[in-house]
């Protein structure tokens, strides 16, 4: 399982939101490039970046920051980026910044054909952010009424590189991941699955690493707050993930 250290951006700063609430923001740094370089030096092979401003409004305010991070750590470390990718042009512009893989969330719900088209030419992941089984959109500010498993079925055999499953109720809580829910996802799809939300200890990563259902295991795990608050180091996390 791969470790994906997270860098969430708002106004150019490194932040975390508690359960996706924009009113519950903690700032962890003013220099995202330095944070990314630290992850790279510690052995991370991927970095997961989220433009929170773009996720909420669709305006890519933090794209220059993402480009700077990709330039600083690439090509050795790859960047996976999300937030506000809702049409062909925004997808191509983000890829032109040096991003290896783009993540589409709202667009995957509202325009799945865009994901199908992009996935035929680029590395594309589908971001599925859930409250229960309801998929949230627009930076988690709205429910979509679309069921998690119905959405997964839309992208079967469509060339999607991964699905990023985020349990909003656990995000930034350090309360542990939803192992049962993730097992259901693994059982329901053959698309590689990246887990996000709730990791607070190395034991959580070890549990995710050994999770197996439907003959499959997790491709990766995204970790943010636990790293920022020193619950463990990137080096320790990489070791716990096994690669």
Catalytic positions, written as ranges: 8, 129
DSSP the chain: -EEEEEEEEETTEEEEEETTEEEEEEEEES-HHHHHHHHHHTT-SEEEEEEHHHHHHS--TTHHHHHHHHHHHTTTSEEEEESS--SHHHHHHHHHTT-SEEEESHHHHH-HHHHHHHHTTS-EEEEEEEETTEEEETTTTEEEEEEHHHHHHHTTTTT--EEEEEETTTTTT-S---HHHHHHHHHH--S-EEEES---SHHHHHHHHH-EETTEE-SEEEE-HHHHTTSS-HHHHHHHHT-
Q: Tell me the β-bridge partners of 196.
A: 166, 222
Provide the 10 A C-beta neighbour count for residue 95. Answer: 19
Spatial CA neighbour of 225 closest among 16, 2, 8: 16
């Amino acid at each position: 399982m791969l470790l994906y250290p997270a860098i969430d951006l708002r106004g150019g700063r490194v932040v975390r939101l508690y359960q996706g609430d924009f009113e519950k923001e903690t700032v962890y740094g003013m220099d995202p490039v330095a944070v990314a370089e630290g992850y790279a030096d510690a052995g991370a092979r991927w970095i997961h970046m989220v433009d929170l401003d773009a996720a909420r409004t669709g305006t890519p305010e933090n794209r220059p920051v993402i480009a700077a991070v990709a330039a600083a750590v690439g090509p050795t470390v790859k960047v996976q980026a999300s937030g506000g990718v809702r049409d062909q042009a925004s997808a191509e512009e983000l890829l032109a910044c040096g991003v290896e893989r783009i993540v589409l969330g709202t667009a995957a719900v509202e325009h799945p054909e865009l994901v199908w088209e992009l996935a035929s030419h680029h590395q594309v992941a589908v971001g599925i952010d859930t409250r229960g089984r309801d998929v949230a959109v627009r930076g988690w500010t709205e429910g979509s009424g679309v069921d998690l498993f119905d959405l997964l079925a839309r992208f079967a055999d469509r060339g999607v590189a991964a699905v990023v499953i985020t349990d909003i109720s656990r995000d930034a809580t350090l309360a542990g991941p939803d192992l049962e829910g993730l097992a259901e996802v693994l059982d329901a799809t053959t698309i590689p699955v990246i887990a996000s939300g709730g990791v607070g200890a190395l034991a959580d990563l070890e549990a995710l690493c050994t999770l197996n259902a439907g003959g499959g295991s997790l491709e990766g795990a995204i970790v943010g707050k636990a790293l920022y608050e020193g619950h463990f180091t990137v080096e320790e996390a990489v070791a716990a993930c096994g690669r």
